[in-house]
Amino acid sequence: IPPPNSPIHFDILRHWLHDCDAHHPLCRPIARNATSRPPTRLVETTPGPAPRYLALSHPWGDPPHFCTVPANLSKNLTRLPVESPLFPATFRDAIAVTRELDLPYLWIDSLYIVQGPGGDFDAEAQRMEDVLAASGAKAQTDGFLRGERHEREMVKLRAGKDGSSGLWVGPFVDDFGAQVLQSPLSKRGWLLQERALARRTIYFTGWQAYWECGEAVRCETMTRVKLASFLGDPNFPSKVSGKLADRGEKIRFYEDIYRQYSRLDFTRITDRSVAILGLEQRMVRDFKAWGGYGVLDDKSSSLLPRSLLWRRTDPEEGLKPLRRILPEGQLPSWSWMAYDGPIDYLDVPFGEVDWSEGDIGSPWSGDGTAPGELRIAGRPFLKEPVVLDSEQDFELVLDDENATTEHWESWRCMTAGRRKAKALSLAKRTLYILIITQVPSRSGADESSWERIGVGMMSGEFIGD
């Protein structure tokens, strides 16, 4: 494998890009229409026509960060201090790669999204197209074209007849999963969206560089690795939104996306609801649905109630607990994005549940409901929701793992769905429920406000009318 920053290394990168441009029509950059536009600001690496560019995906690392704020915006727009020892090595390497790939422009989030008060983070954070990923770096200062590759022991089998070095063999080093998907960069919350929305990606690691597009993952060892994830789809999420994908597959897909995302890390945890907006909008559009806040709603009666049945993970899984991070009003309590920590979903079988249409008023119904407001029919508990029969279908998962059923009399529940079971009366069928409790109204109006505190699955005998 050639050393990084060498002519042969860049020859390989150029070959990947040119081969994909020539032979992979689905991976090519899409033509921009009248309503789309490139990022507001780009680094010009060489004179050339806009808007073809690369985007750098990188971990910020610990502060201080090299970034643009309102005070230095004008200066950075005029000229970046590339020669300064304070200019991050990762940014300098990204400029070098962009030039070597004969592309005129580079987009770096921390430089051309203006940070801090008076900045334009909210407006610019979603502008990602092609992603250039520095998977091996842990911070802005690390770079990704410096140093040596991880050493490999090579064995020479024979010398070439013409005096060349002959044939060498060494250990297998192609491990996209370990070197990229489990790298420090891949633990960043922003990367899930960046990887999904990028049409082509180059990952730089301490072992080698990898190319990912809609056809395959390519390695510097000249091998190809089959795509193992829908995230490599150049037109995400076309592989699950087509006619061949059934409804259950689509639902499991979006649940898995949100499940993965909830396990990722953020420098600022308040970015949790922002760093997936572009990806979520793509899913909403391709699934012909409405949605937001990590919840989807289509014209059927099942998607909204099913997606509301998210839950915290079991403590036995060894993951951090769910913790409320945003007060009510910034994000609704029925959205897992208002929390820090991993989520899962109640295991609700497909085709075996009658979903409740009249108990939920969608936030996207257009009936005058305020943004983020979910209107539901709350029903009282008739008895404390605790399991008495080990063979009974029962599960109660409160969002706070330290919470108890002490105040169950004040709780209400929304019936999301009822298990089909012709042999049982309606009162004894298993219900899938959202559990809520009353809170003071934010507006001061007489109308009651409620917030979610958990989900459950239990017999209808626990629930009143």
User: Structure tokens of 111?
Assistant: 């430089």
> Among 110-114, 156-160, 274-278, 355-359, which stretch is predicted with the lowest mean pLDDT?
156-160
pLDDT at 122: 64
Report the distance separating Cα 24 and Cα 212, nearest Å.
Answer: 12
Residues 248 and 173 placed together within one structural domain of the fold: no
Residues 150 and 246 placed together within one structural domain of the fold: no
Residues 211 and 320 placed together within one structural domain of the fold: no
Give the residue from 252, 362, 386, 238 showing the smallest Cα distance to 301: 362
Give the residue from 191, 187, 235 showing the smallest Cα distance to 57: 191
pLDDT at 35: 43
Residue finishing a domain among 204, 236, 268:
236
Q: How many residues does the chain have?
A: 465
Residue finishing a domain among 177, 209, 236:
236
Cβ neighbours of residue 113 closer than 8 Å, sequence gap 6 or more: 68, 119, 120, 121, 124, 125
Report the distance separating Cα 396 and Cα 388, nearest Å.
Answer: 13
Give the residue from 42, 149, 147, 140 showing the smallest Cα distance to 89: 140
Residues 200 and 276 placed together within one structural domain of the fold: no
Query: Is 228 a residue whose pLDDT tops 50?
Result: yes
Residues 256 and 121 placed together within one structural domain of the fold: no
Residues 98 and 224 placed together within one structural domain of the fold: yes
- Do the domain assignments include residue 66? yes
- Do the domain assignments include residue 348? yes
Report the distance separating Cα 177 and Cα 228, nearest Å.
Answer: 9
- Do the domain assignments include residue 199? yes
pLDDT at 128: 46
Query: Is 210 a residue whose pLDDT tops 60?
Result: yes
Q: How confident is the model at residue 382 (pLDDT cuts 50, 70, 90)?
A: very high
Q: Are 277 and 294 in contact (CB under 8 A)?
A: no
> Among 93-97, 119-123, 132-136, 281-285, which stretch is predicted with the lowest mean pLDDT?
132-136
Report the distance separating Cα 450 and Cα 455, nearest Å.
Answer: 14
Report the distance separating Cα 297 and Cα 209, nearest Å.
Answer: 40
3-state percent helix, strand, coil for the chain, nearest multiple of 5: 25, 20, 55
Q: 405-458, pLDDT tens digit by residue?
A: 999 999 999 999 999 877 677 778 899 999 999 987 665 555 668 899 999 999
Q: 10-67, pLDDT tens digit by residue?
A: 999 999 999 999 999 888 776 554 445 566 677 777 766 556 788 888 777 777 888 8
Residues 354 and 386 placed together within one structural domain of the fold: yes
Name the region of 312 (left: φ>0; alpha: ψ -120 to 50; beta: rest): beta
- Do the domain assignments include residue 1? no
Residues 223 and 244 placed together within one structural domain of the fold: no
pLDDT at 261: 95
- Do the domain assignments include residue 21? yes
H or E element in which residue 342 lies: none
> Among 10-14, 43-47, 87-91, 290-294, which stretch is predicted with the lowest mean pLDDT?
43-47
* Domain boundaries, position 136: 7-236
Residue finishing a domain among 186, 215, 236:
236
| C-beta neighbour count of 162 within 10 angstroms | 6
% of the chain surpassing 90 pLDDT: 29
- Name, of 50-54, 234-238, 297-301, 304-308, the range with top average pLDDT: 304-308
pLDDT at 34: 41
Report the distance separating Cα 211 and Cα 91, nearest Å.
Answer: 20
- Do the domain assignments include residue 290? yes
pLDDT at 147: 61
- Do the domain assignments include residue 2? no
Give the residue from 406, 405, 385 showing the smallest Cα distance to 395: 385
Q: Is the dihedral of CA 82, 85, 91, 92 positive or negative?
A: positive
Q: 142-159, pLDDT tens digit by residue?
A: 777 766 666 667 676 766
Q: Where are the beta strands (DSSP E) in 302-381?
A: 310-312, 323-324, 339-340, 343-345, 353-355, 360-361, 375-376, 379-380
Please state, rounded to an integer, the average pLDDT across all residues of the chain.
82
Residues 185 and 253 placed together within one structural domain of the fold: no
Q: How many domains does the chain have?
A: 2
Helices (H), 85-158: 89-100, 109-112, 121-124
Residues 259 and 227 placed together within one structural domain of the fold: no
As beta bridge partners, residue 106 has: 43, 54
pLDDT at 246: 79
Residues 214 and 347 placed together within one structural domain of the fold: no
- Name, of 124-133, 247-256, 333-342, the range with top average pLDDT: 333-342
Give the residue from 58, 7, 2, 45 showing the smallest Cα distance to 184: 58
Residues 176 and 312 placed together within one structural domain of the fold: no
Would you call 439 helix, strand, or coil by DSSP? strand
Query: Is 257 a residue whose pLDDT tops 60?
Result: yes
